[in-house]
Amino acid sequence: MPDGARLTAGPIVWTWTGHGEIEPWARVLVTLRMDACRGEARLQFDVDHYSRRTGPQDQWVMMETTLCRYGGRRWWWICAATGRRSTKLYLPNGGTRFLSRGPGAYRLAYASQNGGEMDRSHARLARLHQKMGGEYHRPDDPPPARPKWMRRRTYARLVAEWEAAVERHDDIWTAGALRLLTK
């Protein structure tokens, strides 16, 4: 976009329906105003969260660019709570504003940070099953058969990793059972 030029786009309407519902559970109206290095987006939304409805909301979000090393520009959202650049803004269940996930905003954790040792153990076993071309159901399942396209040495290494992961899973389960039984 040439310097000094201004672009106005919108309104754009995003509508999500969930669980086979006919009525939308989220509707976001976006209007953009941008020049070469700055912009703003007006987000008008009404979301029917699991915990509560947001009610009609109207939020302006600032945007800015940084120059990329090999030309071009990268657009960033500016979080209204922290003033920091962010690639994504989030509206979690119960939230009423789009904010970043970091400190000072929503402080959202990744799924892997919410689980315990047993959850991580199941995730590791599922990853290994997937690498071996199988589907994971429970830890006492045998490892999947070697896929035709996989080298024998690779398969042997993955089976050894899988056996160690099953052993670790059993140790975690035993420690948890002992904690419950000694109470």
| Residue pLDDT, tens place only, 17-55 | 656 665 556 777 888 888 888 899 888 888 877 777 888
Confidence (pLDDT) at 169: 96
* Strand ranges for the chain from DSSP E: 7-16, 26-34, 38-47, 57-67, 73-78, 85-86
Confidence (pLDDT) at 93: 81
Confidence (pLDDT) at 10: 63
In this structure, is the dihedral angle defined by the CA atoms of residues 135, 139, 142 and 145, taken in order, positive or negative? positive
**Distance separating alpha carbons of residues 153 and 161, to the nearest angstrom:** 12
Confidence (pLDDT) at 77: 94
Residue 164 parent element (H or E): helix 152-181
- For the full predicted model, state whether its pTM sits above 0.85: no
Q: Judge contact between 39 and 75, C-beta under 8 A.
A: yes
Give me the residue spans of the domains in the chain.
7-86, 111-181
Closest CA to 41 of 76, 73, 2, 17: 76
Once rounded to an integer, what is the mean pLDDT over residues 72-94? 91
| Residue pLDDT, tens place only, 94-147 | 888 999 998 888 888 887 788 889 999 999 999 999 999 999 999 889 999 999
Confidence (pLDDT) at 86: 94
The pairing of beta strand 73-78 with beta strand 38-47: unpaired
